[in-house]
Amino acid sequence: MTRTDPLDVPRPDARLHLGVFFQGVNHWTVWSDPASGSQIDPANFRRVAQTAERGLFDAFFLGEGLRLREVDGQIHDLDVAGRPDAITQLAALAAVTDRIGLVSTSNTTFNEPADLARRLSGLDLLSEGRAGWNVVTTDNAWTGANFRRGGYLDHADRYRRAEEFLTVARAIWDSWEDATVSGAADAPAWATSSAVRQVRHQGPQFDVDLAPTLPRSTQGHPVIFQAGDSGEGRDFAARNADVIFSAHGNDFDDALAFADDLRRRLRAAGRPEDDLRILPGTEIIIGATEEEALEKKRWIRLQQVTPATALGIAGLLWGIDLSGRDADGPLPKEDPVVAENDGSFGARRIADPRQVVAEWREKADANRWSLRETVIALGPQRGHVGTPAGLADKFAHFVRHGAVDGFNVTPYLIPDGLDDIVDLLVPALQERGVYRTDYTGTTLREHLDLREPLTHRTTTDRRRTG
């Protein structure tokens, strides 16, 4: 539903939240630019995190890569590669930042709750309450080959395991009572006798019996992020998450429909409808004029979608090896091969590519596009393009009308890709009263204006509407 009445502003005082996603393995980072830096140099992680903190971002977010991506059993060599362990990186960044949140993507399919909950708790304590956990369920067979269990779980089983995993992790975080460790030198003991509760859990996925080693941080629990877009993923977020990432951030109506769906699911889960922050992933391209911004976008897309990358993306759609073809020539004449999903490339084969290929051919013929131009125009679409003022107006409309709570920004260049956003867009947002002018809290939970962790609330708290 499009909201066009200028007086119908559901959230006139809403503020936009921003995070930054240091992507690691991907083809969207322009590695060929002379200004591009290493993906594993600690100085570049520090540079991005400190720039984001200067721009008053909520969080610095890292993906996870347990194995190099593969296509049909071959390493996908078109990616920028380099993913040191996320929690290790974030712990280092905690020492060189003061306020920005530090969010680790850590999957529940191949980790164990006793170990991961402790490491996340350690990051939360070391950062003084700035840790977050992006709960993901790994979906591919080639990552599973790293581990004893092998393969990958069915979609529904992955979420059942994730929910039980999170239940155990929260029990571990809640095992220490607050204010139980003595601060006095003459105290008879270092803590009260009930300071730590044993965690015992037996379920379909986990059998745990332990005495947790760490108390809670000042924010109670690490903030829970989730990125599922399926029905199961959205329900999981509505029951469990504090923040949801999404792919619904480019078009206002699409973003609003996603947000309204999440609010319905939150109410069904017994939570307030404003209890979950919605942060779509996006790329932001800024120019002094609209024309300059569009020309900059064209240059960036040509750097991101190289001829080899275009052939790789199209090959996934056609289901055949297109290497050696001319990416600047016409689309393949072959019909696409409809193959059963085997977990290749993150299980992202298209279920029925024939309709998509027919649409690509129709539009390519009408516009006289080459294969590469077609991939750029009709492949995965991402981001917002414009002037600082135009983008600030657009984002203010999105957040004040409830379509998003903010964006998780993926810079197209490392380490300087945030500079235009921090130096040009943030001041324009501040002028419109839609972005903070200073951090008002010290924890990630405070930055995101979140309530206390779900397990710390009464039934009444969970069901209240505001």
Residue 295 or 349, more confident: 295
pLDDT of residue 342: 52
| Contact by Cβ (8 Å): 415, 286 | no
Share of the chain above pLDDT 90, in %: 67
| Contact by Cβ (8 Å): 236, 140 | no
Residues 6+ apart with CB under 8 A from 218: 128, 129, 442, 443
Residues 317-370: tens digit of each pLDDT = 998 989 889 999 999 999 998 766 555 444 445 667 899 999 999 999 999 999
Gyration radius from the chain CA atoms:
23
Residues 234-245: tens digit of each pLDDT = 999 999 999 999
pLDDT of residue 280: 96
pLDDT of residue 5: 56
Alpha-helical segments (H) within 3-85: 42-54
The most confident of the ranges 154-163, 172-181, 275-284 is 275-284
Residue 24 or 33, more confident: 33
Residue 424 or 189, more confident: 424
- The count of residues in the chain is 466
| Contact by Cβ (8 Å): 135, 225 | yes
Share of the chain above pLDDT 70, in %: 89
Alpha-helical segments (H) within 326-407: 353-367, 371-378, 388-400
Mean pLDDT over the full length of the chain: 89
Task: Choose among 273, 244, 276: nearest CA to 466.
Answer: 273
Following DSSP, what letter does each residue of 133-146 receive, concatenated?
EEEE----HHHHTT
Task: Choose among 393, 460, 386, 380: nearest CA to 432.
Answer: 393
Strands 70-71, 74-75: parallel, antiparallel or unpaired by DSSP?
Answer: antiparallel
Tokens of 339: 């193959």
Give me the residue label for tokens 């240091």.
22
Residues 101-160: tens digit of each pLDDT = 999 999 998 899 999 999 999 999 999 999 999 999 876 666 777 776 666 677 778 889
- Other Cβ atoms less than 10 A from the Cβ of 243: the count is 29
Residue 73 or 126, more confident: 126
pLDDT of residue 345: 47
β-strand partners of 386: 286
9-18, 121-130, 202-211, 339-348: range with lowest mean pLDDT: 339-348
Amino acid letter, residue 421: I
Burial profile 17-45: b = 16 or more Cβ within 10 angstroms, e = fewer: bbbbbbbbbbbbbbbebeebbebeeeebb
Alpha-helical segments (H) within 149-251: 155-173, 231-240
168-172, 174-178, 183-187, 297-301: range with lowest mean pLDDT: 183-187
DSSP H/E element including 310:
helix 307-318
Task: Choose among 68, 114, 108: nearest CA to 226.
Answer: 108
Residue 94 or 185, more confident: 94
Average pLDDT over residues 33-47: 89
Tokens of 431: 């002028």
24-33, 260-269, 288-297, 315-324: range with lowest mean pLDDT: 24-33
| Contact by Cβ (8 Å): 280, 255 | yes
In whole angstroms, give the CA distance from residue 258 to residue 267: 15
Q: Is the dihedral of CA 308, 312, 313, 315 positive or negative?
A: positive
Cα end-to-end span (Å), the chain: 23
In whole angstroms, give the CA distance from residue 382 to residue 251: 10
Residue 94 pLDDT exceeds 50: yes
pLDDT of residue 462: 47
Cis amide leading into 388 (omega within 30): no
In whole angstroms, give the CA distance from residue 447 to residue 439: 7
Please report which confidence band the pLDDT of residue 249 belongs to, taking 50, 70 and 90 as the band edges: very high
Strands 101-107, 131-136: parallel, antiparallel or unpaired by DSSP?
Answer: parallel
Average pLDDT over residues 39-48: 91
Average pLDDT over residues 200-220: 93
| Contact by Cβ (8 Å): 220, 132 | no
In whole angstroms, give the CA distance from residue 134 to residue 21: 12
448 burial via Cβ count (<10 Å: 0-12, 13-18, 19+): buried
Residue 250 pLDDT exceeds 80: yes
pLDDT of residue 464: 41
